[in-house]
Amino acid sequence: MIELNANVPDHFLVLERKETFGDYARAYGDALAEHYENRGVIVVPFMPITFDRALFQSLAFPMQWKKIGTQNGIEESVFVRDGSNLTDRQDHPFRRLEMGTEWASYLQSQVASFNWQLRRGLHLLFPAYLSLQDVNITWRLTETVEEGMHLDVFDGGAPTNAGAKLAHRVKIFINIDSEPRRWRTSFDLPGVLDKCRGQLPAEMPDDVNVVNDVIDKVGVLKNLPYHNLAYPTMSAVICNGEAVAHEVVYGQRTVGAEFMCYQQDMLDPKKHTHHCIRQWLEQRGYKIDADAAAVAKRYAQMKGSYALIQEARLGR
């Protein structure tokens, strides 16, 4: 399941299989949050979520739906009530699959049920994160092949706004395919800054999003050593992609969810990525560029290996 590379720190916490979220909570308590806040990767061998798995394993979404999710309305009802009448919503995403109204409605109900179980489950897995709320739950029923090693970047690499800097991100990826989903993981963000010191700009802003965008676009991650991970059907990886370099090597169907909670809910708020970035840079000899917006603008038109791979896959 995991092939470790001796040149990369072992950042995995592999849980013992449990049959309910409550069993996981009783067995691990705050250990999961502690490992996650230390920029570790948690492997859950079984996610106790029930849904029509066979149906979803028979579906493939259009490539343009690579990350379609709750923000696109897939959890909303296919029907809308108008007085005493129920009207079929032609604009619902699942109506575009040309499965018919009944199947579109059934698909929506299965997605909504799965998502509800996931929300409840994460509150049990991370009991200290009382403010935990989902930002987006995506259903990625598209083939992914060697997407490129990267650190997560949001909003095109723009500087992080003040509100987002107060939020702690939790990301989980659940394999719902019949075949194992294969990943690679490499160094965490401070490790990347250390290992790639001579290949990155000597001056960088204390902004995680901008720093990650620069790292991705300069292309230093493709030469780093990595661990191999294959996780089977209904297992999951919990990993903060903005803090750990990673790559999907192969997979066809996964549910990827992004949750946020307040920084003060963390077991140790001082480990928050936005709190640590300045220290990580300074300790490794980088100078701090006070103008994050200018750096973001300078790299805005540059395309790194990860962006080029994604555009090629979409046929652009």
pLDDT of residue 150: 96
Which of these, 304, 291, 311, 284, lies nearest to 188 by C-alpha position?
284
194 in a structural domain: yes
Give the domain extent around 230: 11-68+118-313
Q: What is the mean pLDDT of each run of 10 residues along the chain (316 residues)?
A: 96 98 98 98 98 96 94 94 87 91 95 98 98 97 94 93 92 98 98 96 95 95 97 98 97 97 97 96 94 87 62 51
- Tens-place pLDDT, residues 180-236: 999 999 999 999 999 999 999 999 999 999 999 999 999 999 999 999 999 999 999
Q: Please check whether residue 103 lies inside any domain of the structure.
A: no
What is the model's pLDDT at position 85? 87
Q: How far apart are CA 168 and CA 233, in angstroms?
A: 28
- Per-residue pLDDT reduced to its tens digit, 276-287: 999 999 999 999
CATH of the domain at 195: 3.60.130
For 104-124, write each residue's pLDDT tens digit: 999 999 999 999 999 999 999
The whole model's pTM is what? 0.93
Number of domains in the chain: 1
- 97 belongs to a structural domain: no
Residue 2 lies in a domain: no
Is residue 89, in this structure, part of any structural domain at all?
no
Q: In this structure, is residue 110 part of a structural domain?
A: no
User: Is residue 293, in this structure, part of any structural domain at all?
Assistant: yes
